[in-house]
Amino acid sequence: MSRATGTWGEAQVANYLRKKGYRLLAHSYHCRFGEIDLIAQKGSTLCFVEVKTRTNLACGLPRDFVTPAKQEKLRKTAACYLSQNQLDCPVQFDVAEVYADSEHSAASVRIEYLENAF
């Protein structure tokens, strides 16, 4: 999958979250520990969202690629975000799976949103 497809999938999830009442705080947040695709707020909870976009399941479910090592990087990156922004609030780690029949095909998009994925 190309970086452009990943960015496209993240935009699909951002729109999905806005429609569900989330407030988007950051997109592609980077620090020395890694990257978080989307950071959103739902009520008082901060949601750190890992987005996985796929056009087929030949290699398995997208969620399977959020390995324990990736989860640890996301936790450290989230801690950095919280520290930099002086935040002390409930957090959750979510995984958004974006399925499309072909790359950049908005007509066929399906999103599986897994709250508290890990």
Domains of the chain, residue spans:
3-114
Q: How high is the mean pLDDT in each 10-residue block of the chain (118 residues)?
A: 83 98 98 98 98 87 95 98 97 96 73 97
- As assigned by CATH, the class of the 3-114 domain is alpha beta
- Residue pair 81/34 in contact (Cβ under 8 Å)? The answer is no
- Both tokens of 86, joined, read 């002086």
pTM of the shown model: 0.91
Residue 50 dihedral angles phi and psi, to the nearest 5°: -100, 125
What CA–CA distance (Å, rounded) separates 21 from 58? 33
What CA–CA distance (Å, rounded) separates 67 from 10? 19
What CA–CA distance (Å, rounded) separates 62 from 111? 11
